[in-house]
Amino acid sequence: MPEVLRQAAILVGGRGTRLGSLTDSIPKPMVEVASRPFLDWLIEEVARHGIPRITLLAGYLGQSIVARYDGKTIHGAQIEVLVEPEPLGTAGGLRLFADRLEERFLLLNGDTRFDVNLLDLALHAADALATLALRREAPGERYGTVAIDPQGRISGFAARAPDRTGPINGGIYLMRRDIVAHIGPGAVSMEADIFPRLAACGQLRGALYDGAFIDIGIPEDLAAAQSIIPAMAHRPAVFFDRDGVLIEDTGWPHKPEEIRWMPGAATAIKRLNDAGYFVFVVTNQAGVGKGFFPESQVAVMHGAMAEHFAQAGAHIDAWEYCPNHPEAALAQYRLDCPRRKPAPGMINDLLAAWPVRRAGSFLVGDKASDIAAAQAAGLPGHLFAGGDLAAFIAKLLPPP
């Protein structure tokens, strides 16, 4: 299985001259989309995949990016900003800051949004120095196209032409740090200089996706983004109980080494990620209040579960738990908590914090209290009695 991704770098150094006066005083990724900087939307999308470190490679007016993002934490991801001393193109910054890169990392263009499961890209990387997320179909008059063979090897690139259609470069790349050895000094273009050379020597792979794609590099697309980007951010959600659904309920499980996975758990989560759902966990953990294990152990368990899912190209967007119980042995947890199922508090908190589209959302649990919590939140609940979770989920999803 592939290593878990620990870093995503985002290229935010360009001026965006085609946007005219809009970028006279702000970098292109900071232009407003639906009353927020475009970069806000992009960082949130990356962070929800569980990637703990996001590095912004800034240039033009980079201090404005430093002021807004450096040192912040978004959905658990720590943000850092590195500013180029001079324009270095889309590749030169990687060479300059090579010592700040993980062995394997994601690289994203800071002016595009491509709706894909970012962790899936690692499953296509094989031995390549770089693996590109490709939009399967796009008009050739707007974008150059990519030649890819049935084994996923990229053989070349073609200039844009009105009689040609995709696949196109989607602006998301999984890279090995060794790629910096192919980047010369000064301003270097990843797309024009590095990728064609890697393709020629068989070091470039691609993965095809059908998700929505837009860039904000020209006024027409920026105008379209005002409605497209918020629509991309809103998606249905699946809420999972934990014990008895994702892992076996062995009696207050709290040690990673004792996890017994439900058959098909990782496959089910990845299928939902690939289909564009938010995936949340809502779990009662009264074992904390009853003194069976410390509250800190819940995070240890969820961290171990997240690692397991990530190795399969899957992720949980958010983990919610309630340690309270009306009869808890420990006084600080002895309360009738509105977050404890069958109350809907955990679900309602997630609905308030995330752009969930209720249509198509549902909960999967193994107890009547799970279903009651879903109903109290106004969502359908489905009772899982064990067996293959992936097969169970497949029956609940609309046909592709």
The structure tokens listed for 177 are 């740090």
d(CA 193, CA 90): 10
pLDDT of residue 131: 98
Domains of the chain: 7-233 (3.90.550.10), 237-396 (3.40.50.1000)
DSSP H or E segment with residue 177: none
- Residue pair 339/349 in contact (Cβ under 8 Å)? The answer is yes
Q: Evaluate the CA torsion angle 4, 306, 384, 386 in order and state its sign.
A: positive
Q: Identify the pLDDT of residue 216.
A: 94
Query: What DSSP string runs through 32-95?
Result: EETTEEHHHHHHHHHHTTT--EEEEEE-TTHHHHHHHHTT-EETTEEEEEEE-SS--HHHHHHH
To the query of whether residue 221 is one of the catalytic residues in this protein, the response is no
Q: How buried is residue 400: exposed, middle or buried, by Cβ count under 10 Å (0-12/13-18/19+)?
A: exposed
Tens of pLDDT, residue by residue, the chain (400 residues): 677 899 999 999 988 889 999 999 999 999 999 999 999 999 999 999 999 999 999 999 999 999 999 999 999 999 999 999 999 999 999 999 999 999 999 999 999 999 999 999 999 988 899 999 999 987 656 788 999 999 999 999 988 877 777 899 999 999 999 999 999 999 899 999 999 999 999 999 999 999 999 999 999 999 999 999 999 999 999 999 999 999 999 999 999 999 999 999 999 999 999 999 999 999 999 999 999 999 999 999 999 999 999 999 999 999 999 999 999 999 999 999 999 999 999 999 999 999 999 999 999 999 999 999 999 999 999 999 999 999 999 999 998 7
Bridge-based pairing of strands 278-284 and 36-37 is unpaired
List 40, 111, 215, 241, catalytic entry = 241
DSSP string, 103-164: SEEEEEETTEEE-S-GGGGGGG-TT-SEEEEEES--BTTTS-EEEE-TTSBEEEEE---TT-
Which of the residues 193, 243, 317, 366 is marked catalytic?
243
Dist. CA 326–CA 331, nearest whole Å: 10
3-class DSSP assignment, residue 317: coil
Q: Is 236 helix (H, G, I), strand (E, B) or coil?
A: coil
What per-residue confidence (pLDDT) applies to 162?
77
Task: Please give the DSSP secondary-structure letter assigned to residue 193.
Answer: I
- The C-alpha angle with vertex 232 and arms to 226 and 235, in degrees rounded to 5, equals 135
pLDDT at residue number 399: 85
Catalytic annotation present for 241 = yes
Contacts of 5 (CB under 8 A, 6+ apart): 51, 102, 104, 105, 106, 118, 119, 122, 174, 310
